[in-house]
A = this chain, B = another copy of it.
Amino acid sequence: MAEETEWPGVENDIDDPEELQVIYRTLDSYQQYAKVAHFQCTHLRRQAFYALPQAHWQRLAAPPFNYLDTLDKIDDAIGSNADLAHLIVKTGLQMFHVGAQSETGEPRMPPQWNDSAKPNDIDKARSTLRQFYRDWSAEGARERAACFGPVMRAIAAEQEARRPTDPPLKILVPGAGLGRLVFELCLGGYEVEGNEISYHQLLASSYILNCCERAGKHTVYPWIHTFSNHKTRANHLRGYAIPDIHCATELARAEQTRPIGKMSMSAADFLCLYSQEDRAAAYDVVASVFFLDTAPNLIRYLDTIFHCLKPGGVLVNIGPLLWHFENRVYERDDTEDGEGHGGADTSGIADPGNFELTDDEVMELVRQTGFEMVSREAGIDAPYILDMESMLQTVYKASAWVARKPATAGVA
């Protein structure tokens, strides 16, 4: 664990058998996406359809409903999502040097790992594929602006406050997800390090940032997995070109006009890696977007952030408080969530114990940790993979705030 990998040129040979298991299960879950989605979205629906009285299904199969055509289109859309999933698997096998050699020379999953993914893993593969809408489509720009906007502005203000000769801010983005914020900050000239524990996210972000050949190579269909609350079938079946930009092209273009930054990614448990001594006072900014509520133990998250910030550095946060560990049972089954990356001896996210605070209690804990509040804004409309045309609108009212580690901290 805690491997740090520069982009591009990931060269990880994983030795840890537990780690390998997590990677294979994750890869397998992407591989299985299509099969499971076809089963759940169309196979079961065809069964349910033909179980109707014959006169009924015949009426629905006819215009203007064309229900069976709809199911065929859903199958096609699943296929398109699966094309992306397959390339994530392929590049993942190459990245980690864990593929078996096939006759065509293409890397493929070692057969013993086929079907190793648990339903929970496959759910994550599906939701990660949907997440490309948010992070890497033109239409997702609205969602990104809501969350990245306040963070980018706070970081720009922080840079402005420095001397013009000062180097670019060094920024840590924990919970980097599909890497869009890391990329945008790099484009903005900052030195940025992403951190992510989930191999679902790591594999997907690595593909889109480093390996995807061109803008618009894929079409993702984020709304096809549910049939409820759609106004029209056209909206249900709406696909989005991703990525909206080709990262390498974009960076090269930017470089013509201004210095761009550096980016790297660490595949690790945030708590384990960034509480280490060599990360003390290492970053000017920690940019936390929809991240704090992934904490089972927010005290440790905040202590770790405080530890790795330079004196005078800032924690820039935005998010709601959807506590990810809210329903974790204390003695949880290790096999259920493959993203632990380690085990009970890691002092990481898998540590026992959790609690959930309210927004004002979080602010109090931030102060108790030693931060000084710089600014705070509440009630920011922040949709998350929201179909704006749906008859069901789910929107977070996010809190955004900036907290500073005092310049005197750690000096004594």
A355:B299 contact, CB within 8 angstroms = no
Which chain B positions have C-beta within 8 A of A411? none
Q: CB-nearest residue of chain B relative to A381?
A: B393
**Given that A51-B353, A64-B364, A227-B326 are known contacts, is A391 also in contact with B297, CB under 8 Å in the complex?**
no
B49:A360 contact, CB within 8 angstroms = no
B228:A64 contact, CB within 8 angstroms = no
Verify if A65 is at the interface (C-beta below 8 Å from B). yes
> Which residues of chain A from 357 to 373 have a CB within 8 Å of any chain B CB?
357-361, 364-365, 368
Which chain B positions have C-beta within 8 A of A293? 228
B232:A360 contact, CB within 8 angstroms = yes
Question: A288 → chain B, closest Cβ, in Å?
Answer: 16
Verify if A398 is at the interface (C-beta below 8 Å from B). yes
Verify if A329 is at the interface (C-beta below 8 Å from B). yes
Verify if A217 is at the interface (C-beta below 8 Å from B). no
A320:B47 contact, CB within 8 angstroms = no
Type the 1/0 row for A380-412, where 1 means its CB is closer than 8 Å to any CB of B.
000000000011111111110000000000000
CA distance A231 to B358 in the complex (A): 5
Binds B, one of A53-61, A113-121, A269-277: A53-61
CA distance A326 to B392 in the complex (A): 15
B228:A52 contact, CB within 8 angstroms = no
**Given that A228-B293, A230-B321, A233-B361 are known contacts, is A355 also in contact with B48, CB under 8 Å in the complex?**
yes
Question: A360 → chain B, closest Cβ, in Å?
Answer: 5
Verify if A356 is at the interface (C-beta below 8 Å from B). yes
- Show 21 residue pairs from A and B whose CB-CB distance is below 8 angstroms, ordered by the A residue: A44-B330, A51-B352, A51-B354, A52-B352, A60-B355, A65-B357, A227-B323, A227-B356, A228-B356, A229-B321, A230-B358, A232-B359, A232-B360, A233-B358, A233-B361, A320-B391, A322-B392, A359-B391, A391-B397, A392-B397, A393-B393
A59:B378 contact, CB within 8 angstroms = no
**Given that A56-B297, A299-B59 are known contacts, is A45 also in contact with B228, CB under 8 Å in the complex?**
no
A353:B53 contact, CB within 8 angstroms = yes
Verify if A328 is at the interface (C-beta below 8 Å from B). yes
Verify if A236 is at the interface (C-beta below 8 Å from B). yes
Which chain B positions have C-beta within 8 A of A326? 226-228
CA distance A47 to B331 in the complex (A): 10
A236:B358 contact, CB within 8 angstroms = yes
CA distance A94 to B226 in the complex (A): 42
CA distance A305 to B378 in the complex (A): 47
Verify if A67 is at the interface (C-beta below 8 Å from B). yes
Which chain B positions have C-beta within 8 A of A357? 65
Question: A15 → chain B, closest Cβ, in Å?
Answer: 31
**Can you name 13 extra interface pairs (CB under 8 A) apart from A48-B355, A53-B353?**
A44-B329, A48-B352, A52-B299, A52-B352, A57-B353, A64-B361, A228-B293, A229-B321, A230-B359, A231-B378, A232-B358, A392-B394, A392-B395
**Given that A44-B329, A328-B48, A354-B48 are known contacts, is A359 also in contact with B231, CB under 8 Å in the complex?**
yes
> Which residues of chain A from 227 to 255 have a CB within 8 Å of any chain B CB?
227-233, 235-236
A398:B394 contact, CB within 8 angstroms = no
A353:B391 contact, CB within 8 angstroms = no
Q: CB-nearest residue of chain B relative to A328?
A: B48
Question: A356 → chain B, closest Cβ, in Å?
Answer: 4
CA distance A352 to B392 in the complex (A): 27
> Which residues of chain A from 48 to 100 have a CB within 8 Å of any chain B CB?
48-53, 56-57, 59-60, 64-65, 67
Most buried by B among A48, A397, A398: A48
Q: CB-nearest residue of chain B relative to A399?
A: B391
